[in-house]
Structure 1
Amino acid sequence: MNNSMTELYIIRHGETELNTTGVYYGWTDCGLSEKGVMQSEDLADILQNVSFDAVISSSLIRAVVTAVVVSGFAPEEIIRDDRLRELNFGDWEGIHHKEIKEKQKEAWENWRSDWKNAAPPGGESFSEMYVRVKSCIEDILREYKGKRVLVVSHQGAMRIIPMILLGFPEEAYWSFTAEQGRYSQYEIDDTGHCTIKRINSGR
């Protein structure tokens, strides 16, 4: 890799037991399911010949465990950053979206109609999440210039990362997805120009 080129590998945490339930669990701390561990092990195998200068993860355990398994770094070597967390769903954490829609119709419709600025009760808005994720990525690009960094995060936050790197507007949020058990790779040069090397790559 060119010494002036910064390389980011972006990974979503593996599957959790809550993934299959349909409940919101943004800041709820939960571990990986058996499938999630296997997804992480598969990625570790795919990336076994890639050496990372740093591994930066959301502070939630599902992301940290994924980071450890994929990178081979010890838990204490993982840099944990709250800014890479999923959206905070506040009072809606642990509740199925159908129940929210039925019992909190006004709050639900307000959130859906103004998805950028409205927030779940006690939670945060998309715009608030965007600001913290943007701050984190900008810090990584500055502090690890010319390095290869593994970043482990969540679906919501990971949709924002390519928007930041590629200069897309907020409306592009829904155009991106981050699949579990796969990784995306970006190269950023000295001018800030970003090249997409891989998107949702894996087995």
Structure 2
Amino acid sequence: MEIYLIRHTTPAIERGTCYGFSDLDVAHTFTEEAARIKQLLPAKPLTVYASPLQRCSKLARFLFEDNFTTDHRLKELNFGDWEMQRWDDLGPDALQAWMDNYVYTRVPGGESYADLYARSLEIFREITARQTDVALVTHHGVIRSLLAHAGNIPLERSFDLRVEYGRMARLHVKDGKVEVLGMNE
């Protein structure tokens, strides 16, 4: 079984803004970025799941027409009270308290990285139990957490894993073992 973890294309938002659950549109580069991904997808049928946020559902529709299901567990980290705030405006004390233990510290009104990991792993286990080739059109946090799971990497070290906008990672699952075949394709 192969799993394609597809990160949404560049969002239409000013750099330095905190966002996760916010339903952002895509940047003007969408068609170029999406076409590049489409060329990399296999010709075989895939079962497709996408985050319901428009930056993912638009990409899923471009790549797979209406042949996908949305699932809220594929959303990005919920930054709660910090959503749509400038990182610089949050204050160094608030940011430092979170960064000191970002895996388990919940953002005010939001969730922790461990929360995102738990919901990502929940849908991943459901998907792998079905033993069909799958594409997940989702966000960096979800992809990073699934790559950490696949590579048996502690969550504290998983921020070193990067999948850029409009890129994908590929996983191979066999006999319950998960192998990373590629990143940033």
TM-score over 0.5 (shorter chain): yes
TM-score (norm 2): 0.93
1:161 aligned to 146, 159, 166, which one? Answer: 146
Q: Residue 112 of structure 1 aligns with which residue?
A: 99
CA displacement 1:8-56 (0-9 Å, x = unmatched)? 01110001111x4321110110221111232012211232x42333111
Does structure 1 retain, via aligned residues, the 8 Å contact 2:103–2:156? no
Pair 1:23-2:21 in alignment: no
After the TM superposition, which parts of structure 1 deviate over 6 Å for at least 4 consecutive aligned residues? none
Q: Residue 185 of structure 1 aligns with which residue?
A: 170
Q: Which has the larger radius of gyration?
A: 1
Pair 1:122-2:109 in alignment: yes
Q: Distance in 1 between matches of 2:68 and 2:95?
A: 36
Identity %: 26
Q: Residue 91 of structure 1 aligns with which residue?
A: 81
Q: Distance in 2 between matches of 1:153 and 1:52?
A: 19
SS in 1 for 2:164: coil
Deviation at 1:66, TM superposition (A): 1.0
**How many corresponding residue pairs?**
185
Equivalent residue letter for 2:83: E
CA displacement 1:164-199 (0-9 Å, x = unmatched)? 223222223112011112211111102x22232221
1:82 aligned to 72, 77, 94, which one? Answer: 72
Equivalent residue letter for 1:14: T
Q: Residue 3 of structure 1 aligns with which residue?
A: none
Equivalent residue letter for 1:92: W
Q: Residue 181 of structure 2 aligns with which residue?
A: 197
2:65 aligned to 70, 73, 78, which one? Answer: 73
Does structure 2 retain, via aligned residues, the 8 Å contact 1:8–1:150? yes
**TM-align CA RMSD:** 1.5
Q: Distance in 1 between matches of 2:47 and 2:55?
A: 18
SS in 1 for 2:35: helix
177-186 or 90-99: bigger deviation: 177-186
Q: Which runs of 5+ in 1 are unaligned?
A: 1-5
